[in-house]
Amino acid sequence: MEETSARPGNFIRTIIDGDRKVGKNGGLVVTRFPPEPNGYLHIGHAKSICLNFGLARDYGGRCHLRFDDTNPAAEDVEYVDSIMDDVRWLGFDWGEHLYYASDYFERLYQWAEQLVLAGKAFVCELTPDEQRAYRGTLTEPGKNSPFRDRSVEENLDLLRRMRAGEFPDGAKVLRAKIGMASPNLNLRDPIMYRIKRFHHHRTGDRWCIYPMYDWAHGLSDAIEGITHSICTLEFEAHRPLYDWFIEQLPGVHHPQQVEFARLNLDYTVLSKRMLIELVTGKHVSGWDDPRMPTIAGFRRRGYTPESIRDFAERIGVAKADSVVDTGMLEACIREDLNTKAKRVACVHDPLRVVIENYPEGQTEEFEAPYFPDDPPKMGHRMLPFSRELWIEREDFMEAPPKGFYRLAPGKEVRLRFSYVIKCTGVIKDDAGKVVELRCTYDPETKNANPKDGRKIGGTIHWLSVAHAQKAEVRLFDRLFTVPAPAGDKERNFKEFLNPNSLVVLKDAYVEPSLSSIEPGARVQFERKGYYFVDPIDSKPGAPVFSRIVPLRDSWAKQSKGGK
């Protein structure tokens, strides 16, 4: 992958620099990205991926991909596969360092026995309700479980029988013996194992007890020799527990946990639970619906991995929670495509224009550069011009307000790359809808050079009716209408779904050069935005264009106006 120079520093780099200076871990940097395979990855995960893989790359270390697959109830191989696809698509490679917490189940179990033997863990039979009652609150200490003082022999025997499947689900748990008075609730004799008969996608039915995330997570890092366990802030209060577990196991490597603020993005939700709800409730077409904030969704929408990596870099990492403007992500994709996507024409909502003084049956071609700011860069194509044209319906107004510089009765406009035309008549249907414009062209204005000295305000795009190709255009927009859809305690986030987040135009037209465009290509439709040739629904000769992002951020104005 390409290296970007001059990376901005951040507090994690400062910590790593300090560690390297004193020779900690022999100067080695080993990070990991540890998803639970219980959903598709979203843009928040992309931040974590870019951070972890980016640090490993910059410090000449390595980054592991580890599936924290300790909860078979919610996990699925579909998620495992999608996560690997997404990390690779983002441009990162774990090489041979692909791991599964489930591969450590035996080792974790042996360590659990070690804790039991050391009198640091016990088998508890309180019901979940009782455990909750015994746990205490933030302001009150908890109470010791009546099972806390079982002998080591009894605990060991019970734990082995738990593993052997002698007890029903939920009948017993193994708990760490730390202290019920700890001000940190995570340390109040937390559960290490529960009995749960679930088929695991990797270990099958070998286990009927499964480790809790807190028992497995930190120790998995330890097993892998992770030097810096980078995680989001909500795990800060779990750090003392991870540390405690490792301290009970002499000789085990001790990774250093560093917490950073998770990414929050406005106008969307990033909680897996909510994303699953959108998928199962069929509010979107799937995890890869182009409106989803998932990596699969962004990929289907036409975002580039470069733009997402750039976004991750720009938002940086911090210790304080904040909400990032979705406009910033959109700006990253615009910036990336600005120099990559050739500019072509598409009429979204066609209105017929007949040029009365242009000979019937005549065609001429105009040279139109793909990249007007730098014509030699991407070459050009020839745009056919004829007597009947499509223009954008919104580029005409019968009674225009002051400051409308496009077409109106008696007014002139430049047709990009061709001629100046003047509107001489308006034809309507019975309902009063404008169905056709009559115009004349000025042969003196060939190439519609904006520097021709004429006082004409606007330049619009157009297509020759006889040559244009019909195309489907999908206009995707933000999925929610409010900046914080999950932030309203009174209302369900789905009440804020944007009913116009997908508008399908079946009768759009594109220029003939696009009939053979490759699926997966990206273009700029001039004056409109950036579009992606949908790789799944496009057929040979029948491309489907998805709007990646409009040219301008129409939401920025809206949210400012709302204040």
Site for ligand ATP in 113-172 (CB under 6 A): none
Amino acid type, 28? L
Q: Is 66 in the site for ligand ATP (CB under 6 A)?
A: no
Q: Is 259 in the site for ligand ATP (CB under 6 A)?
A: no
Site for ligand ATP in 384-443 (CB under 6 A): none
Q: Is 220 in the site for ligand ATP (CB under 6 A)?
A: no
Which residue of this chain has its Cβ atom nearest to ligand ATP in the complex? 44
Q: How far is the CB of 314 from ligand ATP (least distance, A)?
A: 14
Sheet holding 98-100, edge to edge: 30-33, 62-67, 98-100
Q: Rounded CA gap, 176 and 511, in Å?
A: 69
- The answer to whether residues 86 and 79 touch, using CB atoms and an 8 Å cutoff, is no
Site for ligand ATP in 20-39 (CB under 6 A): 34-36
Choice from 66, 272, 406, 478 touching ligand ATP (CB under 6 A): 272
Choice from 13, 24, 253, 262 touching ligand ATP (CB under 6 A): 262
Q: Which is nearer to ligand ATP, 35 or 529 (CB)?
A: 35
Q: How far is the CB of 105 from ligand ATP (least distance, A)?
A: 18
Q: How far is the CB of 28 from ligand ATP (least distance, A)?
A: 20
Q: Which is nearer to ligand ATP, 144 or 232 (CB)?
A: 232
Q: How far is the CB of 327 from ligand ATP (least distance, A)?
A: 18
Is-catalytic flag, 36?
yes
Quick one: CA torsion of 463, 468, 471, 477, rounded to 10 degrees?
-10
Q: Which is nearer to ligand ATP, 47 or 342 (CB)?
A: 47
Q: How far is the CB of 183 from ligand ATP (least distance, A)?
A: 24
3-state helix vs strand vs coil in the chain, percent to 5: 30, 25, 45
Q: How far is the CB of 1 from ligand ATP (least distance, A)?
A: 20
And the tokens for 341? 């996507």
Q: Is 232 in the site for ligand ATP (CB under 6 A)?
A: yes
Is-catalytic flag, 272?
yes
Q: Is 102 in the site for ligand ATP (CB under 6 A)?
A: no
Binding part of the chain for ligand ATP, among 40-48, 101-109, 325-333, 473-481 by CB under 6 A, reads 40-48
Q: Is 503 helix (H, G, I), strand (E, B) or coil?
A: strand
Total site size for ligand ATP, rule CB under 6 A: 14
- CB burial string 398-424: b at 16+ within 10 A, e below: eeeeeeeebbbbebbbbbbbbbbbbbe
Q: How far is the CB of 98 from ligand ATP (least distance, A)?
A: 15
Q: Which is nearer to ligand ATP, 32 or 348 (CB)?
A: 32
CA triplet 116, 117, 123: central angle to 5 degrees? 25
Amino acid type, 204? G
Query: CB under 8 Å to 482, separation ≥6 — which residues?
Result: 267, 488, 496
Closest CA to 37 of 79, 66, 99: 79
Q: Rounded CA gap, 525 and 510, in Å?
A: 9
Choice from 44, 72, 529, 543 touching ligand ATP (CB under 6 A): 44
Choice from 25, 29, 45, 461 touching ligand ATP (CB under 6 A): 45
- Tokens 């004429």 appear where? 454
Binding part of the chain for ligand ATP, among 125-133, 250-258, 263-271, 319-327 by CB under 6 A, reads 263-271
Q: Is 85 helix (H, G, I), strand (E, B) or coil?
A: helix
Q: Rounded CA gap, 260 and 242, in Å?
A: 17
How many alpha carbons lie under 13 Å from residue 321 in its C-beta half-sphere? 7
Which residues participate in catalysis according to the annotation?
36, 262, 272
- Positions touching ligand ATP (CB under 6 A) are 34-36, 44-45, 47-48, 231-232, 262-263, 270-272
